[in-house]
Structure 1
Amino acid sequence: MSEAPRVVIADDQALVRTGFRMILAADGIDVVAEAADGDEAVAAVARTRPDVVLMDVRMPGTDGLEATRRILGDPGGGPVPRILDLTTYDLDRYVYAALRAGASGFLLKDVTPEHLAAAVRLVREGDALLAPSITRRLVERFASPAADPATAPVHRDLAALTPREREVLQALARGRSNAELAARFQLSEATVKTHVARILSKLRLRDRAQAVVVAYETGLVAPGSGAGPAER
């Protein structure tokens, strides 16, 4: 994509919004709207149709988690934006919930200007922001095998995957990069990317961050252990 990413910033602190706007503008990224709470964020997305939303997890009134669910659950027939959740603390339980809701990753608020701009461009192009190992660490802390099925993700059926695709998903969820996956399975990186794309398509997932969550929540990889059931 050659056009500048279009971004909505949602944060209840005006100074944070202003700082992020200045950082992104300096890198040629277009901030099309700002929002001080979740309701404003949902309205801004409907109005401006951005590529990416920087969403503070904790805001008064409608928080970032609920706003994430509403935006991704009802895109209104338009393109679905990528959502990066903002948090002050690493391994925030709300961030895990946001990943389950469909967010493409998260940023700490002390992110460097270079990382912020690079993250926006990365997720706009369809990748996940998080290194899979970071997502894995968060999922291992909060995933529960006894989670309420009524609140579980809809992408829970792994039957559509081939045996090789299951192996790739399992390794991906344990933090392997494409290069590491290629070396492990003696494949080219292009073939690995094809496998990952097919996994995302079959499970109706947006990116690798979501794939990691599903791998843990389906039991393909067990929290706190080196291998899931299929590798024992």
Structure 2
Amino acid sequence: MHRVLLTGGPALPREACARVIEDSVLLTVQAQIPALTDALARLPAMKPDILLVDALALAASPQSTTLRSLRRAAGHTAVAVIGGPSAEEAGSLLRLGVTGILDPHMEAAPFVMALDLIGRGGVVISSRSDVTRICAAPTTPELDRLSTRERQILALVATQPDNGTLAQLLGISPLTVKSHVNRILRKLGASSRAHLVTIAYESGLVSPGLPRY
């Protein structure tokens, strides 16, 4: 069962999310902390499985120190943001290490399923109509060879036209992307980038209809 720490945004929507979480058998609410800065400060001691942040809290806290804290948190805890960020904002959140971007209009069941996937190491971006899995927790022994970061990059390789676009999305250099891709090729015994795309789809790591950013 994944422990979820909720933070940011108006109290009523946050309480609604908490009720949905508590009604599930997969999740439990560890705590609700209204202020994002307070939640980030208490995160090392609380060690939740998932930090669920209202996007309004990020809009209200654009300071670089808060963003650095969020990046550090994402290194130890799965971080999901609930809100409706633009494609550009979604890219920025991915660069910070956020692994869930959830639409606030989601129904309860997809919301729980998305958080469960995020808690198991997946990356999920949702639209108003459905939840699109971008990078799931390993579904085959083959993908067990990859780190979480490598699975994310493999998923993005399958949906981005080239390394330059992928580098821009992640905020890293094309050379670093190339190094990641070469490492993934070796680990999976793949012969080409096209082969990686095939593996990403056949393993269930990426679902058809994945949105591009």
User: Per the shorter chain, which TM-score range?
Assistant: 0.5 to 0.7
Q: Which residue of 2 aligns with 1:164?
A: 190
**Which amino acid is the alignment partner of residue 172 of structure 2?**
A
Q: Alpha carbons of 1:8 and 1:164: their partners in 2 closer, same or farther (altered >3 Å)?
A: same
CA contact (8 A) 1:37 1:63 kept: no
CA contact (8 A) 1:57 1:65 kept: no
Q: Alpha carbons of 1:21 and 1:125: their partners in 2 closer, same or farther (altered >3 Å)?
A: same
CA contact (8 A) 2:70 2:96 kept: no
CA deviation profile, 1:88-127 (whole Å, cap 9, x unmatched): 35x4422211112111121101111111111121121222
Q: Alpha carbons of 1:40 and 1:105: their partners in 2 closer, same or farther (altered >3 Å)?
A: same
Q: Which residue of 1 aligns with 2:76?
A: 80
Q: Which residue of 1 aligns with 2:38?
A: 40
Deviation of the 1:31 alpha carbon = 1.2
Q: Alpha carbons of 1:92 and 1:16: their partners in 2 closer, same or farther (altered >3 Å)?
A: farther
Residue 21 (1) aligns with residue 18 (2): yes
Q: Which residue of 2 aligns with 1:102?
A: 97
Deviation of the 1:58 alpha carbon = 3.2
CA contact (8 A) 2:43 2:73 kept: no
CA contact (8 A) 2:53 2:79 kept: yes
**Which amino acid is the alignment partner of residue 42 of structure 1?**
L
Structure 2: stretches of 5+ with no match in the other structure:
126-132, 136-154
Structure 2 counterpart SS, 1:21: helix
Structure 2 counterpart SS, 1:54: strand
Structure 1 runs, 4 residues or longer, greater than 6 Å off: none
**Which amino acid is the alignment partner of residue 96 of structure 1?**
G
Residue 178 (1) aligns with residue 203 (2): yes
Structure 1: stretches of 5+ with no match in the other structure:
180-195, 197-207, 213-222, 225-232
State how far apart, in whole Å, the 2-side matches of 1:64 and 1:114 are. Answer: 34
CA contact (8 A) 1:49 1:81 kept: yes
> Structure 2-normalised TM-score?
0.62
CA contact (8 A) 2:73 2:79 kept: no
Higher strand content, 1 or 2: 2
> Structure 1-normalised TM-score?
0.57
Q: Which residue of 2 aligns with 1:189?
A: none
Percent identity, aligned pairs only, is 15
CA contact (8 A) 1:68 1:98 kept: no
Structure 1 counterpart SS, 2:41: helix
CA contact (8 A) 2:95 2:169 kept: no
Instruction: Name which one, 1 or 2, has greater alpha-carbon Rg.
Output: 1
